[in-house]
Chains A and B, each alone.
Chain A
């Protein structure tokens, strides 16, 4: 057959290569860290940005979608904002610079720049595999972030907000978190942008949730209409641990948020709840993989998508059940409201089952608003626009209401309503 001729580099690919050459001198870390960066960049260069021929990127052709890469700008001005819920402890990363101060008691926090400088981060930089473009990009360029550990048996009374604000340029961040055995915490990872200048963020959070820990992680992505957000959240779940992950995408032009989990402690439970609000000309992709590797674990995932305008939405979800993972109970549902003929939505919910004594299922629907419901509301004098908003709101709110903390629920509902006011 014909030999494979590598495609010429796109503008964005060349820009990334140039950016690496330009930044190399002041990227933190040397020795092992530097050689890890070099490996990742050469892998990225060899493979190029993924196209739809790469199965994990089937619906997000990054090579075609990522047109330009904003130049790194260390001086872009960014202002801190109020936390989402009053009383939260806040750790800030402003314009790519992390600040480890302000941590509540029980938390051990250092900046990731420090771990890069002292070389301790070197082992974590490798990519997840051949299709891990985000890992490669992030590992090559990462400058900062926060490395946090919560001691065994500690309980954080108030949510911890990770406030990540960007106004221009690019930032590549990492957040390794360890939740000690039987600890309990709520963390809000919040991505915001200021100003209209396009920026590029890659953010990788690595969570280790030890035996018996109880963690709620809320990922709120509200970047600007011209921003690119490439996020990845990896987690490992210990025995009898509970992990609830909420993902809200309500911004960005090109968004890919990956969630990769491994359930490797018996008796543990994982829940993913996601609300993806898509409008304008944006492209939003939520890609999720979960491995059940041990017996007697449960997981449920509910993903609600709302697509307006000319937006494109993607959900890929894969549940793997290993041969030994008997008695796994895994259920995934992806429901989409497709509200415009110019919008589109693609879903690929996958099950990969190697154990026989399991209960696994997935469901996926794509529909428009139910005309009878609309009629019901309009017949009661509610104008159409408002009625549509109410129905869309009800569709996504169901997911948010599952959160225990009422202040957090109110804050998230606020984000959703503001977004809907702008788009619906």
Chain B
């Protein structure tokens, strides 16, 4: 079909250079020297004014990290990372703990404006009252500002940067930090444990339904810096919270490392909804530069009837290595994973989830939609397992891949492990290109081809988009559009 060929050619022509968040901001930075050593870790810990136990925890992780090998099982290919050629700490210089948003460096605010982040409270207040969103903005290594803190506090919700939380609620942090992703977990999580610089901390107490969406924006700005943020969210009995993170970075020739850890803890009857719109710089059309996104995200459904739901829209990063997981420990707990992973140019994505069924009557659902274009490689890798005592574990997995162009690859690698006769697992995966029948149907009704492809792709990912908080569904749809521009219009 000639028309389709045209589209494919167009996809080939487009490149990821259209990354519109690729500006660099001139802000004075306070950086640690390059390299990783005990001194650097002590430096980070001192900068953050951390208690002794935190430093000890970091140093222990560092010692452990030294004995570990970089994982190489993922279907991604990149030159060896020199971990001593990275700044492990970078902070905007004027940062002396802004009390309110007005004290924040206007340059930073400008960046967020460019990012289109509704950081200013008044902007949000000007909008619909019920769709308020509290934002924690992390700039390179430090959290710059957290909005709506006071209002959240009234509801009993703690939402602040993790460095603040370590100082203000050390017992709470100490109780939960590393309880889902231990410092021994994997190479990148261990590295993160040693050098994490900031991130968000959320605590929703018993019976509280968090009154607004919480959100964090991460941005890597400095050259040669790594970003290692740590997010910890705890929902006590019966609590509910919905949290969204977004990420961007400037365009740079060299690769930058992002190794975050996210830990979620849901106690009895609690529910955590965690959404990600990941749009790190993916590199240029030759595959030069871009972020290495090596992230460990895990939720622990510790309580009975608890629920954790991950939704991710992955359009950025040169390399994505990310498996948001659920440990279904509580009886009748539920895990969900909804993912859209779009790869174009030279991007490589190896992403998926793990659903570990431990409790009785647990259920999980995985919907993964991969769209590969250009010369990208897009892999779904997921694990579903039911342990001996996980009676009536139930999983449904669907992973569909759509290929646009014949130089990209789509791969599916599910691991299905049942150790219980009452487990009921269903997995299905398909790979295809846009159906000519569907396209023909649209064209025949006078829909131009570009619009038709956009329509079909949107239909393809609809199940996942629906799971995003409304405010971000629109953003996500736009992002997918930009990522595939030329093919989906």
Binding site for B on A (CB under 8 A): 1-2, 55, 58-59, 323, 326, 336, 338-368
Contact = CB atoms under 8 A, between A and B. Distances in A.
A67 B441 CA distance: 61
B417 A349 contact: no
A363 B431 contact: no
B351 to A, nearest CB: 15
B422 A365 contact: no
Contact of A352 (B407, B409, B417, B426): B409
A366 B406 contact: no
B404 interface: yes
A336 B345 CA distance: 39
A361 B428 contact: yes
B424 A366 contact: yes
A346 B383 CA distance: 10
B428 A362 contact: yes
A365 B67 contact: no
Contacts of B417: 59, 344-347
A346 B406 contact: no
Nearest to B391: A341
B431 A361 contact: yes
A322 B445 CA distance: 35
B416 A364 contact: yes
Given A361-B429, A362-B412, A356 B422 contact: no
Given A356-B404, A356-B433, A349 B427 contact: yes
B57 to A, nearest CB: 22
Interface in B389-415: 401, 403-415
12 contacts: A1-B69, A323-B406, A341-B388, A341-B420, A346-B416, A350-B412, A351-B410, A351-B431, A356-B408, A362-B428, A366-B416, A368-B424
A360 B433 contact: no
Contacts, number: 128
Contact of A1 (B68, B408, B411): B68
Contact of A338 (B401, B423, B427): B423
A346 B419 CA distance: 8
Nearest to B377: A354
B432 A343 contact: no
A351 B416 contact: no
B385 to A, nearest CB: 8
A345 B406 contact: no
B425 A362 contact: no
Contacts of A346: 415-418
B94 interface: no
B411 A352 contact: yes
Given A367-B424, A368-B424, A357 B433 contact: yes
Given A353-B401, A366-B424, A368-B421, A348 B431 contact: no
Contacts of A367: 423-425
A55 B421 contact: no
Interface string B87-119: 000000000000000000000000000000000
B423 A366 contact: yes
A349 B424 contact: no
Given A353-B411, A361-B430, 7 more contacts: A2-B66, A344-B418, A349-B412, A350-B413, A353-B403, A364-B427, A368-B423
A358 B409 CA distance: 12
A360 B431 contact: yes
A349 B414 contact: yes
B415 A348 contact: yes
A1 B414 contact: no
B412 A354 contact: no
Q: Which of A341, A344, A354, A366 has the most CB of B within 10 A?
A: A366
Contact of B410 (A2, A338, A353, A363): A353
Nearest to B436: A357
Contact of A356 (B66, B67, B403): B403
Nearest to B410: A353
Interface string B336-376: 00000000000000000000000000000000000000000
Contact of B429 (A59, A351, A365): A351
A340 B404 CA distance: 44
A9 to B, nearest CB: 22
Contacts of B53: none
A354 B378 CA distance: 10
A329 to B, nearest CB: 10
B419 to A, nearest CB: 4
B73 interface: yes
A311 B412 CA distance: 27
Nearest to B426: A365
A350 B67 contact: no
A345 B431 contact: no
B388 A354 contact: no
Contacts of A339: 421
Contacts of B67: 1-2
Contact of B425 (A58, A356, A360, A364): A364
Nearest to A357: B433
Nearest to A328: B431
B406 A340 contact: no
Contacts of B412: 349-351, 362
Contact of A323 (B66, B401, B407): B407
Interface in B412-468: 412-433
